Structure 1
């Protein structure tokens, strides 16, 4: 009699143990998927590149802001009162000042220094040393994700530096900012849902734009 009464209790206990075991297995499976996603080597590499691009963009914006605070105009201008507008332009040494007598002077040299042997004309300006020349060479190379500068018409508008996100995490961040409905009025339209043959803002169509 005791044996018969013991068996149902044993089966009940074993049943609960099996359910608990299945729950644990399910949780471990979910965690395994999450861990594998987190350590996806390609995603990690792309996220590292995006983090580097964000850091470079912050450094460039800071240099432009310091130049403006010191001179009263932007590095693509020649004097106070020149138009502040700059179209969506890649930040390399082909980005020249927009007014005479600096039309042959790259703005990156104005923000750093004019290198020896430079064949252009920076109107005898030595550069403001806001950026290291090595940083300029980095932006001028092809290994890194390009940065793009944009400034709307008003001098008080923000200067934006943008890049195409390569990682899923940064692409999601860009999409969430665009879909929030709170973009500033001076935000670069090129960075929002932009689609053209060269995929300038990446496959998702939205750039990361700072600030």
Structure 2
């Protein structure tokens, strides 16, 4: 038996360029399908709405604690009129901070130009216009106007308390 030292063996190591392009194309198609399924813009809007809802709930809790401690709301202590579809005022938040109802960082939130306050009788409602479709559906189902009253049929607001 003789062996040829110069015999070429063809062993394939790795992928060809065509195979790599096909795999990259398939990954790209899957990425587009996943991104269109999760709709990142809707996710951002939903996160914004959740932040607004959280800030409104915390502000309402702080106002109720303030009322329990001082027998008046922050706007009363500041000599301001009762709110009726009024944006949350920086002076109210400052008063809540000064009395220790919220931390100073709470005043720095970007939410205050989107949350409306209404005092109706003895009930304070904080409402915001939702941006995400899921929050909008909840708002339209609840049927709340900007002042928290019922009867809205479209472009409704999310209100705290519900």
Into which bin does the TM-score normalised by the smaller protein fall?
0.5 to 0.7
CA distance in 2, matches of 1:131, 1:76: 16
- Alignment TM-score, normalising by the size of structure 2: 0.67
**Structure 1 match to 2:38:** 39
- Alignment TM-score, normalising by the size of structure 1: 0.52
How do 1:40-59 residues align onto structure 2 when only pairs under 5 Å count?
40-59=39-58
- Show CA shifts across 1:108-149 (max 9, x none): 11101xxxxxxxxxxxxxx211122221121477xxx61111
CA distance in 1, matches of 2:36, 2:142: 23
SS of the equivalent of 1:77 reads helix
Which structure's residues are more often helix, by fraction? 2
Q: 1:163 aligns with which of 125, 128, 136?
A: 128
CA RMSD of aligned residues (A): 3.0
1:147 equivalenced with 2:115 (yes/no)? yes
What are structure 2's unaligned runs of at least 5 residues? 1-33
SS of the equivalent of 1:209 reads strand
Runs of 4+ in 1 over 6 A off after TM superposition: none
Alignment coverage as a number of residue pairs: 126
**Structure 2 match to 1:89:** 86
Larger C-alpha radius of gyration, 1 or 2?
2
Q: Is the 8 A contact 1:149 1:161 kept in 2?
A: yes
**Structure 2 match to 1:205:** 155
How do 1:122-141 residues align onto structure 2 when only pairs under 5 Å count?
127-139=98-110
**Structure 2 match to 1:121:** none
Closer, same or farther in 2 for the Cα pair 1:140/1:47, shift >3 Å? closer
